[in-house]
Structure 1
Amino acid sequence: MSDHEAFYLPVGDDEFESTPATASPWDVSLQHGGPPTALLARAIEHCDPGEGMPIARISVDFLGGIPQGRIRTQARVVRPGKRVELVEAELWANGKLAVRASAWRIRQEPGATAHVATPAVLPPPLPGPGPQPEIYFEGVGDGWGYGEAIEWRFVESGFDRLGPAKVWTRVRIPLVGGEEPGALQRMLIVADSCNGLSGEVPLTEWLFIPPTLTVIVQRVPGSPWMFFDAATTIGPDGAGIAHGTLSDDRGLLCRIAQPLLVAPRS
């Protein structure tokens, strides 16, 4: 169970203080990409929200390591529309632009395509009845803030194993202190874990750097638990891609893609 009340504590309008729950497994002075991604989605959702216009695709570019401490977000509509619109958001840390996101919001009409809806592919049952032992990456011990802020129940593989992974996840704490996290926010908190869950080479020997993350959303989860099916492929030239899906007990939620720089650690 996480010792932290939230990933971020509000300190002003669109300003936040990060907590250790955002910590990267490799450098606690930096943030894992998941919470900043969710915070930018929050900014986009709050920007001129329209009824029935949810985020259908969000792409997030990480412009470098995201430091712990005071951050702020801002968002604006750059292409308004009644059916389709584009929104951009930025996250600033220590006076520098650290993360940039763009999202398409597309109008949805409940029941409009029910007669052609694709049959759902359901995930395997949630392992239970209680939490699994928390074993993280080699060199990362107990007290990893981000890891503890999420419950992980593996169906296949684990943090300490290489290759594709299948795992049920549940975010344990709010994104922002004092707020109930939105369903899309919970989804994006875990989406950036795709490459870490499914690494094909030891992360103690290799750098695994995803400069960007794209999530294509079909719908948001209806319950706290989400099933993550993640895999990574690496080419002979060092280029890689992490890809995966999140589902719940009703079927597909979203598709995830992350191009990777894969290089030996010096």
Structure 2
Amino acid sequence: MSDLPEAFYLPVGDDLYEPTRATQSPWDGDAQHGGPPTALLAHALDAAAGPGMRLARIGVDFLGPIPRRPARVEVTEVRPGRRIRLAQAHLIIDGRPAVSAQAWHIATGPTPPAAGPPLPPPPLPAAPAEHLLPAPSDWGYGQAVEWRSTDQAPRAPGAAQVWTRVRIPLIAGEDLTGLARTLIVADSANGLSLALPLQEWLSIPPAMTTTLLRPPVGDWVHMDCRTHLSDDGLGLARATLRDPGGYLGEVAQPLLIRRR
């Protein structure tokens, strides 16, 4: 799409980033979707970890609506180590943390003599499905990602199996990595698998955890999403991640469920 911004973020100084329209949330045009900030913090945490370490899990807390304004990224080491390392990062907007993340990095090593089941993904549909997204697709984040549903039926509340492809780089002037490609879409598990009609119910994730088995490969990430609801106003959205190489990891999001 020729009218897309060149990236989700424009670097404007040391650890400073300007969010573009591609970060725009469907819930609030002046706020960011949770996916791009998650990927930006993971990018900084990954760079700080150094060679030989791979991000295994990232937990992100959204401390309120994320303003679509210039942001600074701060990284702090929590638990140093040669084989296992924990660090945290904050996205600072208007002098206050808007997003907080903690990531575990684990040192890579020899191939073990066993492996889990491959869990190959379903075939990639030939064309995007109509009415897949829970809101009109004229918002920035919705346009910056290509969505193809494994089930080509019209969109309805409930479980969803969706192939995703991020269309632009995370940061202008830098190649889009497999890690960024995956984390940009991971926070969409809730939106893709809404259990109740969007027009009548709120489904708000204050946090998101993604655990990755291996480095993502290829341009496409498949999400098998499902939302479960409790009888006291909470929910849990989950997604199994796959790519052309097979099983990739898991996403989990706690949810606030309320009637509008």
TM-score category of the 2 structures, normalised to the smaller one: over 0.9
3-state secondary structure, aligned to 1:6: coil
CA distance in 1, matches of 2:208, 2:137: 27
- Cα distance in 1, alignment partners of residues 80 and 66 from structure 2: 30
Q: Deviations over 1:233-262 (max 9, x none)?
A: 001111100001110122111100001000
- For the 8 Å contact 1:163–1:199, the answer to whether it is kept is yes
Equivalent position amino acid for 2:219 in 1: P
Q: In the alignment, what sits opposite 2:133?
A: 136
What's 2:143 paired with? 148
CA contact (8 A) 1:59 1:215 kept: yes
Check the 8 A contact 2:129/2:152 in 1, yes or no: no
The 5 A counterparts of 1:94-113 are 94-111=94-111, 113=112
Contact 1:159 1:197 in 2 (8 A): no
* Letter matched to residue 124 of structure 2: L
1:196 aligns with 2:194: no
Shift of the 240–131 alpha-carbon distance from structure 1 to 2, 3 Å rule, reads: closer
Which residue identity does 1:120 align to in structure 2? Answer: P
Q: Residues 46-69 of structure 1: CA distance to partner in whole angstroms, max 9, x if unpaired?
A: 21x332211111000000000011
CA contact (8 A) 1:233 1:240 kept: yes
Q: Which amino acid aligns with 2:93?
A: A
Q: Which residue of 2 aligns with 1:8?
A: 9
Q: Which residue of 2 aligns with 1:116?
A: 114
Q: Bigger shift: 152-161 or 73-82? A: 152-161
Q: Say whether the 8 Å CA contact 1:30–1:67 is kept in structure 2.
A: yes
Aligned to 2:240, the other structure's residue is in SS state strand
TM-score (norm 2): 0.95
1:42 aligned residue: 43
How far did 1:203 drift? 1.4
In structure 1, the residue matched to 2:125 is 127
Whether the 8 Å contact between 2:158 and 2:193 is mirrored in structure 1 is yes
Aligned residue for 1:244, secondary structure, equals strand
Give me the TM-score of the superposition, normalised by structure 1: 0.93
CA contact (8 A) 2:45 2:88 kept: yes
Indicate if the aligned counterparts of 1:18 and 1:69 stay in contact, CA closer than 8 A: yes
By how many angstroms is 1:219 displaced?
A: 1.1
> Would the alpha carbon gap of residues 144 and 167 (structure 1) be closer, same or farther in structure 2, given more than 3 Å must change?
same
Instruction: Give the SS at the match of 1:170.
Output: strand
CA distance in 2, matches of 1:173, 1:43: 18
Q: Equivalent residue for 2:21? A: 20
Q: Is the 8 A contact 2:57 2:103 kept in 1?
A: yes
- Structure 2: give runs of 5+ residues left out of the alignment: none
The answer on 1:246 being equivalent to 2:247 is no
| CA–CA separation in structure 2 for the residues paired with 1:167 and 1:135 | 9
* Residue in 2 that maps onto 1:59: 59
CA RMSD in angstroms comes to 1.5
Contact 1:158 1:165 (C-alpha < 8 Å) held by counterparts: no
Structure 2 CA distance, aligned partners of 1:85 and 1:187? 21
Q: How does 1:69-88 map to 2 (within 5 A)?
A: 69-88=69-88
* CA shift for structure 1 position 40: 0.4
**Number of the residue aligned with 1:33:** 34
Instruction: Say how many residue pairs are matched.
Output: 259
The DSSP-based 3-state class of the residue aligned with 2:122 is coil
Task: Could you list the structure 1 runs, at least 4 aligned residues long, displaced by more than 3 angstroms after superposition.
Answer: 130-136, 157-160
Q: Helix, strand or coil for the counterpart of 2:150?
A: strand
Following superposition, the deviation at residue 206 of structure 1 comes to 1.1
| Offset, 1:178 | 0.8
What pairs up with 1:164-175 in 2 under 5 angstroms?
164-175=159-170
